[in-house]
A and B are shown apart, each in its own frame.
Chain A
Amino acid sequence: MPAVTAPSRAPRGASVMPDTPGWARWANDHRKWLFAAPAMAFVAALIIFPLAWTVYLSLTDSSGSVRAESEFIGFRNYLDVLSDTDRFWPAVGRTAAFTGVALFFEVVLGMAIALLLWRPFRGEKWVRVAILLPLVATPVAVGMMWRLIFDPNIGLANQALGWIGIGPQPWLAGQHTALPTTIFIDIWQWTPMVVLILLAGLTSLSDEPQEAAMIDGASAWQRFRHVTLPLLMPTVIVAVLLRGIDALKTFDILYATKGRGGGSFNEVETLNVYAYGLSFDYNEYGLSSTVLILFFLIIIGVMWALTARKKEAGR
């Protein structure tokens, strides 16, 4: 909406109602901030102040108890964290792998399913219901559910592998299979989200470019590659953006399936799990704040890059 229309959207109340009491006139004149201020104040109190404190804590050696005396140590935490190849960098790697792999499959599968659902057909309703179920299920419960299915001894997964003659896998219990298994769980739960967003995008596209391409004799793949996909690109990027932010911050299913520290070998310890552990298992508030600030910067960076891509695609 163009900014020029703003005055007409907000006619001044006082001039319309000369006989209203003074307080009501004041309220109408100041309704912009009267309406917005409480929510803004809430956000300021609960987010901006804690965030500022986190920045401060990251510059101190605070540990044990936040009440305990702590010393201002400048950027030493940042140097310590950034040179920590034992826990920090592996956690960065796992966060990137988890987010990248999960997002890739969610977008590819989500696009395929959305295209299948694009045109109406009989029984569509039931597919849509099935798609909604994983989305609304409590993530911690979903983690527990998969923990049973992937149990190496009694789980359905190994039974099913047995039917087709493949030996049992350790799944969540294995040092190298745990992270891929949690990625699988994320894909199971959140591909539907991508389907819904892409389907909303597809439905809003006009049929004309498709029809024109068809008359020109384009194949189904060519129509998708050169007509649908470019038009849908801004929606794809929104899906990647929304899902990507949540995937970077994944905590619930990792904690539910592997517990503290991402398992005994830290095999699923992402940045969020690492920061949680530093804060609430080790009480290393200075270090955890440093990790969180770096994590936050990574999220902002990814968002910024994607928003730039979206503007480009929107042109």
Chain B
Amino acid sequence: MKASAGFRAFRAVALAVVVLALVAPLIWMVAASFKTNVDIYDSSKALFFTPTLDNYGTVLQQANYVQFIGNSLWVAFAATLLSLLLGVPAAYSMSRFNMKKSALVVLMARVIPGVSLLVPWYYVFSNLRLVGGFSVLILSHMFVSLPLIVYIMMGYFDGLPDELEEAALVDGLTPIGAFRRITLPLSVPGIATAGILSFIFSWNNFMFALVLSGADTKTLPVAIFDFVGYASIDWGGLMAATTVVTLPIMVIALFVQKYIVSGLTAGATKG
């Protein structure tokens, strides 16, 4: 279908407005992170200012962000890896054996308000003296990652034809062998999608770390609040901190755009 010239012009203008609305705030945030607090308060310096790296010095050195970046990375990697180990075989079974009720139980985790789990978790884990440690954080983030991975992988396995596995069985592989040597290698794109999304969700997660992390295990979203005082806010430092948290994930997103889109829209077009 050919679009008319009038429509194309309208589309160009409308989409330019959309792009500006989505990107301008992010540019503003990054710009502010390179300004002194004096310049942030001065509206004549909105776009033209002398950039400074002082805010990043504050964030990375005084505020100990190098450690928090490490914490966030470790928790996100561990939660994703463990969730993949548990979730991929489970999704396979649920897809192949049509275990709708079991799948529903796992997917419940996407619906339950996280707060309702935090009180019991806090009680149990503080009795085990685990609150403030990494293990609890990783477990709590798996609560987000696992249902996501099962959901994405179930859709992926549903889409793989059975014939390949059946042929492998005829050739003398056991069912588990067929899963390991035929299905799993074919599922790498799906696993990448699930893993990337799980990593992003864990990196961005705030509420669980707010309650369950300690001073040494703080993740980045919790550490952002270090720049918000009761009386005043160090805007330059705060914007540098938010840039440190968001920029890496946005840059990664550019490279794996296709996977993120397919993960976020997984199952959306099924009947």
Q: A46-B143, A279-B115 are in contact. Are A121 and B203 (CB under 8 A)?
A: no
Residue of A nearest to B230 (CB): A259
Q: Which of B111-150 touch A at CB < 8 Å?
A: 111-123, 139, 142-143, 146-147, 150
A34: which B residues are within 8 A, CB to CB? Answer: 89
A210 to chain B, nearest CB (A): 7
Residue in chain B with minimal CB distance to A33: B93
- A282 interface residue, CB < 8 Å from B? no
Interface SS of A by simple majority: helix
> What CA separation (Å) do A234 and B268 show in the bound complex?
9
Tell me the smallest distance from the CB of A53 to a CB of chain B, in Å. 4
Question: What B residues does A73 contact at CB under 8 A?
Answer: none
A139 near B204 with CB under 8 A, answer yes
- Decide: A137 near B249, CB < 8 A? Known: A16-B169, A32-B97, A149-B28: yes
Q: Is B188 an interface residue (CB 8 A)?
A: no
Scoring B residues 229 to 271 as 1 if CB is less than 8 Å from chain A, else 0, what string do you get? Answer: 0000101001101100110011001100100110011011101
Given A13-B175, A16-B172, A132 contacting B260 (CB threshold 8 A): yes
Set of chain A residues within 8 Å of B116, measured between Cβ atoms: 50-51, 54, 275, 289, 292-293, 295-296
What is the CA–CA distance of A1 and B204 in the complex, to the nearest angstrom?
36
Q: Which residues of B contact A3 (CB under 8 A)?
A: 98
Query: CB of B99 within 8 A of chain A?
Result: yes
Collect the chain A residues with CB atoms within 8 Å of residue B143's CB: 46-47
15 contacts between A and B (CB under 8 A): A28-B175, A36-B93, A36-B94, A43-B146, A51-B112, A113-B15, A129-B257, A130-B22, A141-B221, A141-B224, A142-B246, A196-B264, A210-B1, A272-B113, A295-B116
Q: Which residue numbers of B lie inside 8 Å of A, CB to CB?
A: 1, 3, 8, 11, 14-15, 18-19, 21-23, 25-26, 28-29, 32, 40-41, 43, 46, 86-87, 89-90, 92-94, 96-99, 102, 105-106, 108-123, 139, 142-143, 146-147, 150, 158, 162, 166, 169, 172, 174-176, 179, 200, 203-204, 206-207, 210-211, 220-221, 224, 228, 233, 235, 238-239, 241-242, 245-246, 249-250, 253-254, 257, 260-261, 264-265, 267-269, 271
